[in-house]
Amino acid sequence: MSNEHVTEPEVNENLNVSPLDDFDTAETVSPAPVSDDSILDFDDDPLSATSVSKKSLVIFFLIDTSGSMKGKKMGELNTVMEELIPEIRRVGEADTEVKVAVLTFSTEVRWMYSTPIPIEEFEWARLRASGVTSMGAAFKELNHRMSRNSFLNSPSLSFAPVIFLMTDGYPSDDYKEGLRELQTNSWYKFGLKAALGIGQEANDNILAEFTGSKDTVVHAYSGGQLAQMIKIIAVTSSQIGSKSMTLSDDTTHELGEEDVFAAKQKLLGQQIQELVSTQTDGDDVPFDTGW
Amino acid sequence: MIELEIGQEVEMEFGGKAKVLSVIGSGGQGIVYLVRFNGQKWALKWYDINKMAKPAAFRKNLQNNINDGPPSNKFLWPKYLTKEAEDGTFGYIMELKPEGFDSFVDILNTYKLEIDPLTGRAVKRPVKFNTLSAMVTCVINIVNAFRQLHRAGKSYQDLNDGGFFINVNTGAVLVCDCDNIAPDGSNFGIGGKPGYMAPEIVRGIAQPNVQTDKYSLAVVLFKLLFRGDPMEGEKVVRDVCLTESSELKHYGQNAVFVYDPNDDSNRPVRGIHDNIIKFWRIYPDYIKDAFIRSFTTGITDPTKRIIENEWQKLFIRLRSEIIQCGCGRTNFSSMFIHQNEKTFKCPKCGMEFVTIGFSNRDYRTPLYLGCKFYTCEISPESDDFTAIAGELVENKLKPGVLGIKNCSDRQWKAKMPDGVFYDIAPGKGFPVWQGLEIDFGEVKAKI
């Protein structure tokens, strides 16, 4: 790679969020040189190819590991996450390299691994719960890492990340300040955001502030629901994140940027709501009863 | 019922029950299960009708396709519908993928994941074509399958890399996911996969049809041969993040082919698109020109897209131009030294290959031990690109003497060194010599 700098992407003034303004283009891009070397100067075996260049999709899980998550909630969460990984493996197919990053927050915020891990190699490290709910600190840490210089450093093209927040309580720090910082991040703006409230204490309004809409917030009151909801959200959002849209019936009008803006987030909201409405409670005992 | 339970029984439309044995996979429209029905194992695709725009019309179309039957044996076609469940959900069963086939996705990835039964961990097993001839045969098979489909008046709609199973030893192809196939002009809500969709679909001004299939087919062929995305180059990578609006721009409004001869703004980037850079140097010009046409004039003018029959001719030619040298080098003649008008030379070992000219082509075909030609190449009325008509072999009684064996069922005539034409019956052969001429009937050939 040369050190030549990349031209700044054009910013469309008409959009209320200027696209791409802080996808800091740290990596440089240079086209292949034209060359007329002789036939034997390079590996010319038509059968030896490397994997097609993939677009990268990072799925961020933000998981509340405060003391109130102890017991059944954490047990259920650990189990479903272990089961979930093989299901997400199929999502990327040949076009997308799916990576996973897990940020836990309690009294402290901590990444499960120091860098996003390709889904094929990812192994879930079981989490334990203790301490308070530093959600604001988690937002700040996420903002810090969602950068070309940090976790989103794939040299090739990326899809906007999937960001999935799970919590069972009210933040114990100033989550608003953290969220304000996060909201300036372009990866966050274009990312697919979803949230899961666990049990009675979780506040859906705060979660909707995080995702930007109520459609992408769901609530689980029991272990069975928790497992269902995590799977629904994670699989649906990674499918949508790594694919484009199915299209409108109306072909009389050409799509403009305003038509497609945040289209994936809207689709995610619709699909989550449809899927959630078809789930059944069964005979699960709610988290908050039976003590 | 979005999901079926293992052990659950699903009632089939015309009686009988399919018992769910396990999950095979899941996709955007539903889940595929392994089932037992009538004592046989089948694949059952069970739809999530919440994700369908028009479930009733979709089911009717599926029913029509089942009644029409597949265009050829290259399709894993829907076989029987299930009854509708109380909530309106339904599915259909089809034959299982036969042994020995890998998915196109695995070929593009160059490996597939298998779960090690001892450790339970996913391990990578390499997947690649065994021979160059198998790869080009696979391309011909794909093109031919879509030619048959389009001739039946149908379009595939969401042609993408998930739609094929391929035998890497033979190049045999099975088209799967045939449930969105619909009469040209109809659409039941499927859009397509990014990168494979025609620009006019991305822009929202067209729905999938035969013309958009042709664009997607060109993408599939490009991905198989060049192992990269024809529209993803410098211009696209500079966007860093492929948001909805950049996708609309780079795959719709302003799609630029990475090797557009008149626009170098989107060239492949070294370190990211190394496959394309490498393979673009290997393929002969007539193949590259076809892709250039597909992805430049073919972007804005769907009628300029390459038709399947043209692709088929180009790839039959490409297959005939593979040279397998005795030193182990196997490549297209474009990667051998063009010694003179009638001879190629191996750049590695110096071995020379004579060529033969056929009266029905304007290019010469290299001859080497083991090279074959096919029925479609010597009989103008034939479309059979798999039946071997002739092969270059060594005489079993006179080692070192090379000749052409008549593997067809027709009598040929060949000129021998004494200047006389002799009848060559099926199963017989004749030596290759300087003044060789062959009369296949309508087609003639000459060294």
Average pLDDT score over residue span A214-229: 86
Q: Strands B40-47 and B91-94, how do they pair?
A: antiparallel
Identify the CATH number of the domain in which residue A76 sits.
3.40.50.410
Proportion of chain B above pLDDT 70, given as a percent:
98
**Beta carbons within 8 Å of A122's beta carbon, 6+ residues apart:** A85, A99, A100
Average pLDDT score over residue span A13-26: 44
User: Could you tell me if A49 lies within 8 Å of chain B, comparing CB atoms?
Assistant: yes
B18 and B82 Cβ atoms separated by less than 8 Å? yes
Q: Which residues in B lie closer than 8 A to residue A52 (C-beta atoms)?
A: 108-109, 223, 227-229, 275
Q: What is the pLDDT of residue A105?
A: 95
B68 has pLDDT over 50: yes
**In-domain check, residue A12:** no
**In-domain check, residue A195:** yes
**In-domain check, residue A289:** no
The alpha carbon of B59 is separated from its chain's Cα centroid by a whole number of angstroms, namely 28
Average pLDDT score over residue span A242-269: 74
Proportion of chain A above pLDDT 70, given as a percent:
78
Q: What is the pLDDT of residue B50?
A: 76
Alpha helices in B69-206 (DSSP H): 104-109, 132-151, 199-202
Proportion of chain B above pLDDT 90, given as a percent:
68
B444 has pLDDT over 70: yes
Average pLDDT score over residue span A215-238: 85
For A139-186, how does the pLDDT look when each residue is reduced to its tens digit (9 = 90+)?
A: 999 999 999 888 888 888 899 999 999 999 889 999 999 999 999 999
Lowest mean pLDDT: which of A89-93, A203-207, B96-100, B425-429?
A89-93
Q: Which residues in B lie closer than 8 A to residue A82 (C-beta atoms)?
A: none
Q: Do A86 and B122 touch (CB under 8 A)?
A: yes
B260 and B202 Cβ atoms separated by less than 8 Å? no
Q: Do B190 and A159 touch (CB under 8 A)?
A: no
Distance CA A34, CA A39 (A): 14
- What is the residue range of A107's domain? 52-276
Q: What is the pLDDT of residue B116?
A: 79
User: Could you tell me if A186 lies within 8 Å of chain B, comparing CB atoms?
Assistant: yes
Average pLDDT score over residue span B302-319: 94
Higher pLDDT, residue B357 or B29: B357
B171 has pLDDT over 80: yes
**In-domain check, residue A84:** yes
Q: What is the pLDDT of residue A1?
A: 40
By 3-state DSSP, what share of chain A in percent is helix, strand and coil, each rounded to 5?
Answer: 35, 15, 50
Q: Looking up tokens 């999530």, which residue turns up?
A: B48
Q: Is the pTM of this model over 0.90?
A: no
Q: What is the pLDDT of residue A254?
A: 82
Q: Where does the pLDDT of residue A280 fall: very low under 50, low under 70, confident under 90, or very high at 90 and above?
A: low
Chain A contacts in chain B segment 49-78 (CB below 8 A):
50-51, 53
Task: Name the domain count of chain A.
Answer: 1
Q: Do B245 and A49 touch (CB under 8 A)?
A: no
Average pLDDT score over residue span A249-265: 78
Q: Where does the pLDDT of residue A17 fall: very low under 50, low under 70, confident under 90, or very high at 90 and above?
A: very low
Which residues are registered as beta bridge partners of B390?
A: B373, B406
Token pair listed for A235? 């699989």
Distance CA B118, CA B107 (A): 26
Q: Where does the pLDDT of residue B94 fall: very low under 50, low under 70, confident under 90, or very high at 90 and above?
A: very high
**In-domain check, residue A113:** yes
Token pair listed for B330? 């196997």
Average pLDDT score over residue span A200-225: 89
A19 has pLDDT over 80: no
Top residue of A11, A52, A55, A248 to mutate, by most chain B CBs within 10 Å, is A52
Cα A249-A254-A256 angle, rounded to 5 deg: 115
Q: Where does the pLDDT of residue B121 fall: very low under 50, low under 70, confident under 90, or very high at 90 and above?
A: confident
> For A212-242, b where at least 16 C-beta lie within 10 A, e where not — what string?
beebbbbbbbbbbbbbbbbbbbbbbbbbbbb
From B106's Cα to the closest Cα of chain A, the distance in A is 7
Lowest mean pLDDT: which of A6-10, B219-223, B285-289?
A6-10
Q: Do A47 and B128 touch (CB under 8 A)?
A: yes
User: Could you tell me if A31 lies within 8 Å of chain B, comparing CB atoms?
Assistant: yes
**In-domain check, residue A216:** yes
B110 has pLDDT over 60: yes
Q: Where does the pLDDT of residue B336 fall: very low under 50, low under 70, confident under 90, or very high at 90 and above?
A: very high
Sheet holding B80-81, edge to edge: B9-11, B17-26, B30-37, B40-47, B91-94, B80-81
Which residues are registered as beta bridge partners of B430?
A: B404
Q: What is the pLDDT of residue A27?
A: 46
Average pLDDT score over residue span B411-437: 93
Residue B415 CB: number of other CB atoms within 10 A? 18
**In-domain check, residue A233:** yes
By 3-state DSSP, what share of chain B in percent is helix, strand and coil, each rounded to 5?
Answer: 30, 25, 45
Q: What is the pLDDT of residue A246?
A: 52
For A238-255, how does the pLDDT look when each residue is reduced to its tens digit (9 = 90+)?
A: 888 777 555 555 677 788
Higher pLDDT, residue B30 or A38: B30
Q: What is the pLDDT of residue B219?
A: 95
For B320-335, how does the pLDDT look when each residue is reduced to its tens digit (9 = 90+)?
A: 999 999 898 999 999 9
Higher pLDDT, residue A28 or B41: B41
3-state secondary structure of B106: helix
Mean pLDDT of chain B: 91
Mean pLDDT of chain A: 80
Q: Where does the pLDDT of residue A13 fall: very low under 50, low under 70, confident under 90, or very high at 90 and above?
A: very low
Q: Do B244 and A263 touch (CB under 8 A)?
A: yes
Q: What is the pLDDT of residue A289?
A: 60
Instruction: Count chain A–chain B contacts defined by CB atoms under 8 A.
Output: 208
Lowest mean pLDDT: which of A47-56, A214-223, A268-277?
A268-277
B182 has pLDDT over 70: yes
Q: What is the pLDDT of residue A277?
A: 77
Of B50, B122, B238, the CB nearest to A29: B238
String of DSSP letters for A103-146: EEESSSEEESSSS-EETTT--PPPP---S---HHHHHHHHHHHS
**In-domain check, residue A23:** no
User: Could you tell me if B110 lies within 8 Å of chain A, comparing CB atoms?
Assistant: yes
